[in-house]
Amino acid sequence: MYELAIVGTFYDGYYDLWEDFLELFSKNWPECPYPLYIVNDSKELNFKKEYNVTVLHAGEKAEYSQRVQTALKAINAKYYLLLLEDFFLGEKLDANVLNNIMKFVEEKQVKYYRMQIGAFTPLGKRKTVAKIKPSMEYTITCQPSIWRGDFLRRCIGNDVFNAWVFEGVYSKASFAHSETFLNGLYVDYRNVLCIYHGVLQGQFINKTADHFAKYGYQFNAKMPLMDKKTEMKHNIRKLMKGIVPQPVQKIIKEKMKTKSVVERYDEEINLLIDKMKLNN
């Protein structure tokens, strides 16, 4: 059994990002000691042998949950580090960059360990690693996270749903904000793997494009750059989430009559919460 398996859950519609993910992974973590897998829908691509990646197929038009379920059935590991196709490694990593984290995970019997993207640390967070609290809006997310296999199986279940619904379920369900559920769940406010988020709303994020341009990396994917004004608004919203208390955020949303992507799936989220008995 592998102690940790790195699994990219990749959507076929973003296949032009896969080569960049693998090239940057191979370049910046050349001596990664963990096996790397990609679980996609059904698209066949021929990757370079030096990428040393195993590709698994979840099936035509598979959703996020099905890709994770496929990984759990096919890969015999105790822990799984889940990544998305636009999580690009932006700096050289030491082969053993995760050693201390894995030691902490084992010693503390951690079930879920979320890592940050970007350098942002919420105000007032003195600890780099903290327990996930019931007051947090999202208890588990699709950010880079190390999952203990049995906990991931429990959270993903057997149903079919996308990543937005997955995050929404564990944002809204009362049990997902209970001390019982959150025992063994941690968040690391550092960007341990130096990950740069690549794409937002089908467009390249300027900050990410600028970072890799400085190091002479030319992306293979041909996506338009996000309008800088739109990107600035997104960054402000992200900053506000880390500063403004949740009740105030809710009032602002109601006054501005805005809905998050997750809120668009409210009906599906509520049905799944009931089915998985997460409001008990």
Q: Three-state DSSP class for 8?
A: strand
pTM: 0.89
Least confident residue range of 89-93, 128-132, 206-210, 234-238? 234-238
Q: Are 145 and 82 in contact (CB under 8 A)?
A: yes
Q: Tokens at residue 62, please?
A: 């598979």
Q: How confident is the model at residue 257 (pLDDT cuts 50, 70, 90)?
A: very low
Per residue in 155-205, pLDDT tens? 999 999 999 999 999 999 999 999 999 999 999 988 999 999 999 888 888
Q: In this structure, is the dihedral angle defined by the CA atoms of residues 53, 215, 83 and 261, taken in order, positive or negative?
A: negative
DSSP string, 26-45: HHH-TT--S-EEEEESS---
Phi-psi region of 2 (alpha: psi -120 to 50; beta: other; left: phi over 0): beta
Q: Report the pLDDT value the prediction gives residue 264, as an integer from 0 to 100.
A: 82
Cβ partners under 8 Å of residue 215, min gap 6: none
Q: Report the pLDDT value the prediction gives residue 119, as an integer from 0 to 100.
A: 58
Share of the chain above pLDDT 90, in %: 68
Spell out the alpha helix ranges (H) of 173-205. 179-182
> Is residue 92 classed exposed, middle or buried when 0-12, 13-18 and 19+ CB atoms within 10 A define those classes?
exposed
Domains of the chain are 2-275 (3.90.550)
Q: How confident is the model at residue 45 (pLDDT cuts 50, 70, 90)?
A: confident
Average pLDDT for the chain: 87
Q: From CA 82, how far away is CA 140, in angstroms rounded?
A: 12
Closest CA to 184 of 261, 103, 85, 113: 113
